[in-house]
Amino acid sequence: MKNNLLIFIPTYNEAENVKIIYQLIKSIQLPEKFDILFLDDNSPDGTGEIINEIAVSDPSVFYIHRKGKYGIGSAHQAGIAWAYENHYKTLITMDCDLTHSPEYIVKFFEAGKNSGLVLGSRYLEKDSLKTWNLYRKLLTNLGHFLTKNMLNMPYDASGAFRLYRLDLINPGVFELIQSKSYSFFFESLLILHLNKVKITEIPIKLPKRTYGNSKMNIRDAWTSFYFLFKMFKKKQFFKRTMIYD
């Protein structure tokens, strides 16, 4: 029998991290039991095989294997759909690269008692990005400035560390989301915001990656900025299409 809380982790080339993140998550103490869902996009480094080994030894671990790399936004959409299909009430999403510390999961869970969506924010504390290099800081801060001023959302709109109260959000709301890439995060946030989902932020600190490389490249960044301008236009002239009836 599945539990009410699901922790979702998409992976691509995370062979060095996946066992570590699993062990860290299993070490936390929550007031209720939880399951873990990994989604791997056919990682050539063997991440999928490691996930299979973990699932064999732990019946609370589930997995989805896809045949190709279809985009981080598409991975999150698949994870959310799986959570609805399997009747979870609460979903926490996080990265596998160890920048999202499992120690925050308890805080997400507590904040989720009174909110439909909880965001881990990198902008509530001044030193949240202290260890990041200048390029990543500039890119992230630019994205935050644009989403804040163009979409009129004060939140950290591009982060993947989130909690969704699926029992409070109609699954049809997620069907309005079109992006399959990194722009999924600010598009989904805007749509949830426009559909009057209560949003709460909690402060988090993000260290630099311990192993591996960042998945976002300059092409992904420019694609996201382009999509942001499309979302601005859509919000201005076709806002009704972003509301679920």
| pLDDT tens digit sequence for 143-196 | 778 888 888 888 989 899 999 999 999 999 999 999 999 999 999 999 999 999
Evaluate whether 168 touches 89 at the Cβ level (below 8 Å): no
Evaluate whether 44 touches 14 at the Cβ level (below 8 Å): no
User: Which of 169, 155, 153 is closest to 235 using CA atoms?
Assistant: 153
C-alpha distances in Å from residue 65, one per residue of 41, 48, 234: 6, 7, 34
* SS3 track for the chain: CCCCEEEEEEECCCCCCHHHHHHHHHCCCCCCCEEEEEEECCCCCCHHHHHHHHHHHCCCEEEEECCCCCCHHHHHHHHHHHHHHCCCCEEEECCCCCCCCHHHHHHHHHHCCCCCEEEEECCCCCCCCCCCCHHHHHHHHHHHHHHHHHCCCCCCCCCCCEEEEHHHCCHHHHCCCCCCCCCHHHHHHHHHHHCCCCEEEEECCCCCCCCCCCCCCHHHHHHHHHHHHHHHHHHHHCHHHHCCC
Higher per-residue confidence, 166 vs 128: 166
Tokens of 65: 């294997």
Tokens of 123: 């902008």
Q: CATH number for the 5-242 domain, one of 3.40.50.10860, 3.40.630.10, 3.90.550.10, 3.30.70.1090?
A: 3.90.550.10
Quick one: average pLDDT of 98-126? Answer: 92
204 residue type, one letter: I
Task: Report the side by side order of strands in the sheet with 90-93.
Answer: 61-65, 34-40, 5-11, 90-93, 162-165, 117-121, 199-203
Evaluate whether 201 touches 156 at the Cβ level (below 8 Å): yes
Q: What is the pLDDT of residues 200-223, one digit of tens each?
A: 999 998 876 554 455 555 666 678
pTM for the model stands at 0.90
d(CA 184, CA 105): 22
pLDDT higher than 50, residue 93: yes
Quick one: average pLDDT of 49-77? Answer: 97
d(CA 76, CA 159): 12
Residue 142, pLDDT score: 75
Percent of the chain with pLDDT over 70: 89
pLDDT higher than 90, residue 130: no
Residue 123, pLDDT score: 83
pLDDT higher than 70, residue 132: no
C-alpha distances in Å from residue 103, one per residue of 27, 109, 125: 9, 11, 17
Residues shown for the chain: 245
Residue 209, pLDDT score: 52
Residue 211, pLDDT score: 45
Residue 225, pLDDT score: 82
Residue 148, pLDDT score: 85
Strand pairing report for 34-40 and 61-65: parallel
Higher per-residue confidence, 156 vs 86: 86
Domain chopping of the chain, boundaries: 5-242
Residue 36, pLDDT score: 98
d(CA 114, CA 164): 11
Tokens of 151: 């979409």
